[in-house]
Amino acid sequence: MEYVIGIDGGGSKSHLALFDINGNLVDFGHWGSLNHESFHGSFDHLHGEIDKFVKQILDKNGLNIDQVVSAVFGMAGVDTKWQHGVISEIMEKIGFKKFMLTNDAFLGIPAGTPTGIGICAINGTGCTVVGVNNKGKMLQIGGVGYISADYGGGGIMGRIVISTVYEEILRKGETTLLTPMLFEYLNLTNKYDFVERIYEKFGDKSLSIHTCGRLLFEAALKNDKVALDILRKVGDNYANGINAMIEELEFDKVNEEINIVFAGSVFVKGAHSMSIDTIKERLGSNFPTCSFKYTVLKVPPVAGAAFWAFNNLNIEDKTFYYNKVSAQLTET
């Protein structure tokens, strides 16, 4: 029996999906970070982590790597050609012969549409917009922190909450519900202890920056103007990236339905729709002749890696494999 593997290697968690050649899910594995940028040992450490992850799944099922006829890896930290080259060498050393490597953000496109063509906006740990056009050209906008002036992602949004509260209490900024919410989370009563408490909790790692980010949605649900403005600005940032993607990849604005996939925990699980609503409003205004199909991703992004792995085998019935992969991974 031959098999395909899809891996979603994230900055905080990773997944591996193993399918047989007929599209049956054989195993689904969980791992921690597979981003070389999060390891002190960088690429050497990454090599060891991927090797252990893959061997764990193959050994568990009595398989060897020669039985894997196609694999796709969507990896955080694949932002440059140099990084792509180094990590490709790692995959070859582990024993993969036929594989495709890309940034993990691209997995949202094949996970969200069987055509594998469209744009994916990721609002998870980080903030990224990626696209693939009908000629196979790929482009990534954002996802490299301060270099790309990202304004989105759980980490950045959590820091925005902290700085917004600082603005109110020490710079006479606009009053916001975020302040009492954050004070309660920090168990804080005196504004003059704010900075010290932040340093203290960062130091002992008891402060969750993502929890701080979730306060935005709680405040927005209570119609807090400041929180709503922040979420609207997040939407504007993503809309700018999608606008540019449509132009850069030369999508047909008249005859082509453009798939827009929303992925990442902030978009998928966010309790308020302001950011997504802003994106839709901006796109509709900027491209009045375009037909957009919007999808909020309901399957794990690793489904995109698995489907791409099947697609790279030049399968004829793409819809069959897409539906079969999606149905099985929805249940994981």
Residue range(s) defining the domain that contains residue 307: 3-97+299-330
Whether 262 and 325 share a structural domain: no
Whether 204 and 59 share a structural domain: no
**pLDDT tens-digit map of 227-259:** 999 999 999 999 999 999 999 999 998 888 999
Q: How far apart are CA 244 and CA 129, in angstroms?
A: 10
Q: How far apart are CA 28 and CA 220, in angstroms?
A: 36
* Highest-scoring range by mean pLDDT, 52-56, 296-300, 325-329: 52-56
**pLDDT tens-digit map of 192-225:** 999 999 999 999 999 999 899 999 999 999 999 9
Whether 234 and 278 share a structural domain: yes
Report how many domains make up the chain. 2
Query: What tokens does 38 get?
Result: 């999060």
DSSP label at residue 113:
-
322 closest CA partner among 8, 19, 64, 36: 19
Whether 187 and 272 share a structural domain: yes
Dmax (CA) for the chain in angstroms is 67
Q: What angle, 0 to 180 degrees and rounded to 10, lies between the N-to-C axes of helices 194-203 and 178-186?
A: 50
* Predicted structure pTM score: 0.89
